[in-house]
Amino acid sequence: MTPRRWIGVSNPRLTALITEAIGEGWLKDMERLHDLEPLADDAAFREKWRQAKKEHKNRIAQLARKNFNWIIDPDSMFDVQVKRIHEYKRQHLNCLHIITLYWRLKNGIGTDLTPRTFVFGGKAAPGYFMAKLIIKLITSIAKMINSDPDVRDKIKVIFRPNYNVKIGQLVYPMADLSEQISLAGMEASGTGNMKFAMNGALTIGTLDGANVEIREAVGPENFFHFGMTAQEVLDSKAQGYNPADFYNGSDELKNVLALIESGHFSHGDTSLFRPLIDALKFNDQYMLLADYESYVKCQERLFRTGTSG
């Protein structure tokens, strides 16, 4: 993972701003970025930083309208999860949070939340049925939410097809929030989280892979940590983890899963997402139900920070 490509080439506006502030050479020595720390309290510099991000988000919104006829609010928070689709990476935990917000908005709860655009991207292995079903869930949620006038001005969901490195160069600079929510102990390292971080995105994540080092580098106050640690995951499994304990203990989680089960996002087809729901309720190998409440509460704390733009 090279900074010269993933910020120097992909984010020329931010690159120019940093170079103006601390001089040349930092792309070859990322420790030099510590020289930016005194500017954290500089209102003029913060405004230039926000403007660099806003210009890139405006460009993305224009491309989305031109290429896909997607209407995206560049002033919304861009919440991004792009990576290989896999159960342990838990894109479906992200989906459960989105449905939680949808359910709340439909019931008149939390209507003052900062508008957020959820962006997914990634590919599933050809024979990986469950990963493909997760993609289907994302796109089905997107279709429902993006056409619903009650919620679409508050939350919007995008799945970018055919995600690749070239598209990644557009995506990493646009993100306000990086979703790094794999089950603790499963991610060997990860480089996507580094690319997001070096482009100025905040991270919400478990203490897994390179998230640990990122949290140390940016400071715990700038990292939105949720969920079990790797040791807690091992201990829970050793003690006989039972997802029903978490399902029965959360009315909101029950409501979210019931919406999927009822066919609400699948034109009334109650069988389409049944394998996914059954896996969560009766097996939950990657412990989404255990981390759900912590994740949702962490997202609420994140909303309160007002990180949009």
**Tens of pLDDT, residues 13-35:** 999 999 999 999 999 999 999 99
Q: Is residue 200 part of a domain?
A: yes
27 in a structural domain: no
Domain membership of residue 210 (yes or no) is: yes
In a domain, residue 217? The reply is yes
Give residue 309's pLDDT: 38
H, E, C per residue of the chain: CCHHHHHHHCCHHHHHHHHHHHCCCCCCCHHHHHHHHHHHHCHHHHHHHHHHHHHHHHHHHHHHHHHHCCCCCCCCEEEEEECCCCHHHCHHHHHHHHHHHHHHHHCCCCCCCCCEEEEEECCCCCCCHHHHHHHHHHHHHHHHHHCCCCCCCCEEEEEECCCCHHHHHHHHHHCCEEEECCCCCCCCCCCHHHHHHHCCCEEEECCCCCHHHHHHHHCHHHEEECCCCHHHHHHHHHCCCCHHHHHHCCHHHHHHHHHHHCCCCCCCCCCCCHHHHHHHHHCCCCCHHHHHHHHHHHHHHHHHHCCCC
Q: Is the pLDDT of residue 71 over 90?
A: yes
pLDDT of 306: 57
pLDDT for residue 118: 98
pLDDT (tens digit per residue) in 240-277: 999 999 999 999 999 999 999 999 999 999 999 999 99
In a domain, 60, yes or no: no
CATH of the domain at 127: 3.40.50.2000
> What is the domain count for the chain?
1
Domain for residue 1, yes or no? no
The answer to whether residue 207 is domain-embedded is yes
State the residue range of the domain holding 213.
75-305
For position 307, what pLDDT does the model report? 43
Residue 270 lies in a domain: yes
